[in-house]
Structure 1
């Protein structure tokens, strides 16, 4: 090959390389632009109050391709948490099923609709619009996931073993200066409609109908025991005695104790002394430490209701589904503890609702 031919070949190779580089840059720019268009389109879909005509399944497939931050906003979980929840539910037996004359609903859609339901106060019409399914399909799918999820208690809530108790005790000592504490206990109210049977039993002291939730949380605001279902008129002490935890409290507590409010009189719960103006400095300090330690249960209830907004008010929900929804909110709360971003609405911590503790 002569010199001129070699020069032409080298020039051609050089130009080819430049063209390829420009082409790759163009491809990358196109990919980024496509991602941007997808995010914008999905955000519009999620905000839209009306159904947008798309091919079947297009909406939820776009949702699953969102980046973590965008995915988190409507569904309240990260994509990793979603994948974990999906796996657990499928292992439990949740399947893609086809009703006669209706299209199949993939398990992923069912779980997305369930999360949308739990994280908001929207109705099934809004969910059906968002996911391009009928209202009856949305309703059936959410209740199906809810029924499966409510059976998974041990997977999300469990009493601490000896090692975990020791860790919690050390953490509470660091938090409030008290020894031998492994948790805080309290009850809260969930609003409901007046039930048809024994409706008066559900009227609480603040004159609204409610179902009670008893929670015990550790230093991380994680539920380690829950009891759901007593009617609103039942006070904290009676609710504790009716719970399955109370039947085994000696075995579960051992040498440790819980922090609680003045409603509790049991020996394994430390409460504040009544301040009539005659408390000693040591007693006042003890009260302050108990109050500081009990903040974890207030924050747990506040965080759960702030994030899983469905449990803020269940007045339009059938009583037989209320308990399952409350349990599901507690399970989801525990699943997300440790991985949550700071609450944008309450960066200093989610407060309890004013009518939550009656």
Structure 2
């Protein structure tokens, strides 16, 4: 008959899954349930989101727990108390989101009293106070939880230092530092305000931070905590003062001319018995972290990653020319040829070295009209050449200058935070300028000089060919031999 049994019984056609009306009804019910569930999910998410910098889920409360044992590095093994969501046993730090049972305050107090270390006692005291607080403390902002304590009056503490304490920390006298602060206050570069709009940092504080960082081996984070600023502000202040010191460097690191040239030649003549000397040249290495790119060229012969500092020093151990940043594997003679001094001496020798003056160097350097090195000892030196080498001990004055520089500014022991070679070179250049300022101002601060090694550089392959150009040195040897 072609009539469905349902229609015979009810007189109506049965709705199947293909019925458009039925499909529409099912879709409406499904959408309504989805909207209801979505609102519930949104509401739960809002309750668990910690608003503030970097929106993220609030740490879920798990607890209470009790401390079972103390672990190394400020961690604790805890066990579940009662029945609740969370692991039965786990390990946490004092910053963990698992609540510590308040009954363990007595345990923490006992651990505090049994500790002999004052720092450990202070840590346990803080942990005990945290355990005594209610679980509502977990709702504090993350910024407040991780904020480092900062010194608010460290500058006043420095001002109250005695002279000896001041010199031991800053490695220079208060008079020298006051001179630098006065010069810096006059400049336009001391107007420094934090990005948050806080009050401008005084010039004295900025200079204190720069010299403290240069004279010690602390990190930027430690420097920031000491002076009550952020790490980024500490870094920016040091960089700003470094740039200012370099901007006035031409006043203190300069090539001798006129009366200054005559004075330094006279002093070298008194000390070395060699006429016409205006300086001595040598190199030193500054240890750095391995570079990401081409790090092999910074690996020196002492198996450290380093950069080379080339300096020319006068009779008073002042730097009259500096060149920094070449890789540690480069030979001294190669560093010389890559320096600006080499190009100036080659193109304009008469203005740099008037009246046939010259500088002294060790056996690593080539012999030039303006540069007289000692004779290389291959086992066949004549008595006159041996005597000449003893007289021309140029490396001593340069090594003493480098030793005073590294002894005064302990940052030179190693640059642990910097990989940027430009930043390292700028810090080194500013330290050399500070070294000259200390000498010019007669800073009598007693320091422990870092004695430089006098080991000769390995000779490059073409060394014998370069020895053939020693006419100027032979002439000087003849003059000294006749005088003796």
Q: Structure 1-normalised TM-score?
A: 0.77
Distance in 2 (CA, whole Å) between partners of 1:228 and 1:210 is 11
Q: Compute the displacement of 1:52 (Å).
A: 8.2
Aligned to 2:403: 302
Residue from 167, 174, 177 that aligns with 1:79: 174
* CA deviations over 1:81-126 (Å, ceiling 9, x no partner): 1122123333442224322243432111111010000001111232
Partner of 2:159: 64
Pairing partner for 2:340 from 244, 253, 261: 244
Partner of 2:330: 234
Aligned match of 1:127 in 223, 240, 249? 223
Instruction: Quote how far apart the aligned CAs of 1:215 are.
Output: 0.1
* Corresponding residue number in structure 2 for 1:345: 448
Q: Deviations over 1:183-209 (max 9, x none)?
A: 110111111122223323222223322
Q: How many residues align?
A: 302
Q: In 1, are the aligned partners of 2:150 and 2:227 still within 8 Å (CA)? A: no
Unmatched 5+ residue regions in structure 1?
Answer: 1-50
Aligned 1:307-318 pairs, distance under 5 A: 307-318=408-419
- Give, in whole Å, the separation in 2 of the partners of 1:271 and 1:323: 27
Contact (CA 8 Å) 1:302, 1:353: kept in 2 or not?
no
- 8 Å contact 1:181–1:256 — kept in the other structure? yes
Q: Residue 66 and residue 256 in structure 1: after superposition, are their counterparts in 2 closer, same or farther (change >3 A)?
A: same
8 Å Cα contact 2:298-2:306 kept in structure 1: yes
Q: Does 1:93 align with 2:193?
A: no
Q: Which has the higher contact order (CA 8 A, sep 6+)?
A: 1
Tell me: CA distance 1:342–1:357, structure 2 relative to 1, closer, same or farther (3 Å): farther
Distance 1:344 1:95, change over 3 A: closer
1:204 corresponds to which residue? Answer: 300
Distance between the aligned counterparts of 2:186 and 2:333, measured in 1?
38
Matches within 5 A, 1:1-358: 56=152, 58-99=153-194, 100-249=196-345, 250=349, 251-254=351-354, 255-265=356-366, 266-291=368-393, 293-319=394-420, 320-337=422-439, 339-341=442-444, 343-345=446-448, 350-352=450-452
SS of 1:234's partner is coil
Distance in 2, matches of 1:333 and 1:97, equals: 26
When residues 357 and 316 of structure 1 are mapped into structure 2, their CA distance, relative to the original with a 3 A threshold, is farther
CA distance in structure 2 between the partners assigned to 1:276 and 1:124 by the alignment:
49
| Secondary structure, aligned partner of 1:94 | coil
**How much has 1:325 moved relative to structure 2?**
0.8
Cα distance change of structure 1 residues 238 and 176 upon mapping to structure 2, 3 Å threshold: same
Cα RMSD between the aligned structures? 2.4
